[in-house]
A and B are shown apart, each in its own frame.
Chain A
Amino acid sequence: MTEFYIGASLAIFTMVAMCLFRAIKGPTIIDRIVAINVIGTKTIAVILMMGYIYERVDMFMDIALIYALINFMGSLAMAKYFERKGIVAGDSQ
Chain B
Amino acid sequence: MIVDIITITLVVSGMAFLLLGAVGLLRFPDFFTRMHAAGKCDTLGVLLIALGMALEHLFLYDFSFMAIQGAFKFLLIAGFVFVTSPTATHAIARAAQRSEIPMWTRPKKEDR
Residues of A in contact with B (beta carbons under 8 Å apart): 1, 4, 8, 11-12, 15, 18-19, 21-22, 28, 30-31, 33-35, 37-38, 41-42, 44-45, 48-49, 52, 57-58, 61-62, 64-65, 68-69, 71-72, 75-76, 78-80, 82-85, 87-89, 92
Contact = CB atoms under 8 A, between A and B. Distances in A.
Contact of A30 (B8, B57, B92): B92
A71 B84 CA distance: 9
Interface string B1-36: 000100110011011001101110110000100110
Interface residues of B, number: 51
A61 B25 contact: no
A88 B101 contact: yes
Contacts, number: 141
Interface of B: 4, 7-8, 11-12, 14-15, 18-19, 21-23, 25-26, 31, 34-35, 38, 42-43, 45-46, 49-50, 53, 56-57, 66, 69-70, 73-74, 76-77, 80-81, 84-85, 87-89, 91-92, 94-96, 98-102
Chain A interface helix/strand/loop/mixed: helix
Contact of A37 (B14, B31, B66, B92): B92
Contact of B81 (A28, A34, A68, A88): A68
A18 B24 CA distance: 10
